[in-house]
């Protein structure tokens, strides 16, 4: 009888050990994905050809400071009420100018070399250019400029850096296409 009781106690102790390990692992994962990394899905075509609808991205948000050329995920409230994935074109104090006839984008008077865009920037919205980016904000656009709702529209406007949840560093899915161009 005592033998059966000690076997049951050993089984219960083993199960409790496994549960404790699982709980500790979940807490560690939660902490890492809350404070260091996040995962976000791409919805829509605004970042083509760089990112495709349905791609999944690993975001880094450890002491992140946005800089020109970064691909970021933004949670600033918009009419779409969903996160936006865009490329940082200019940071606070920089002047953005877009010639919608030639499709050229200039930052501080220099034409950007944008090998990543689908086509030149011909589509305009209601933001007037040249445009100076507000303090604490960035100016972002999608890589598919003529099919992207972005900072060129005053309903989005400059992005408050506090709404940037991270920089896209790695494509998680589709598997095998990790590098982001």
Give the residue numbers annotated as catalytic, written as ranges. Answer: 46, 86
Rg over CA atoms, the chain: 23
Cβ–Cβ under 8 Å, residues 73 and 40: yes
Bridge partner residues of 95 (DSSP): 132
| Residue the block writes with tokens 């999608």 | 142
Q: In what order do the strands lie in the sheet with 110-111?
A: 110-111, 104-107, 95-99, 131-132
């Amino acid at each position: 009888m005592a033998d059966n009781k000690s076997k049951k106690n050993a089984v219960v102790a083993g199960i409790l050990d496994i549960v404790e390990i699982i709980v500790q692992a979940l807490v560690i994962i939660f902490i890492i994905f809350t404070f260091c990394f996040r995962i976000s899905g791409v919805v829509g075509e605004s970042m083509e050809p760089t990112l495709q609808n349905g791609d999944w991205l690993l975001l880094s948000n450890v002491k992140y400071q946005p800089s020109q050329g970064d691909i970021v995920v933004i949670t600033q409230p918009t009419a779409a009420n969903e996160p936006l994935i865009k490329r940082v074109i200019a940071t606070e104090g920089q002047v953005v100018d877009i010639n919608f006839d030639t499709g050229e984008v200039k930052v501080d008077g220099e034409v950007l070399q944008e090998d990543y865009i689908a086509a030149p920037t011909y589509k305009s919205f209601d933001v007037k250019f040249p445009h100076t980016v507000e303090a604490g904000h960035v100016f972002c656009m999608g890589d598919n400029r003529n099919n992207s709702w972005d900072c060129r529209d005053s309903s989005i406007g400059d992005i408050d850096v506090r709404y940037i949840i991270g920089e896209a560093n790695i494509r998680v899915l589709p598997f095998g296409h990790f590098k982001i161009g």
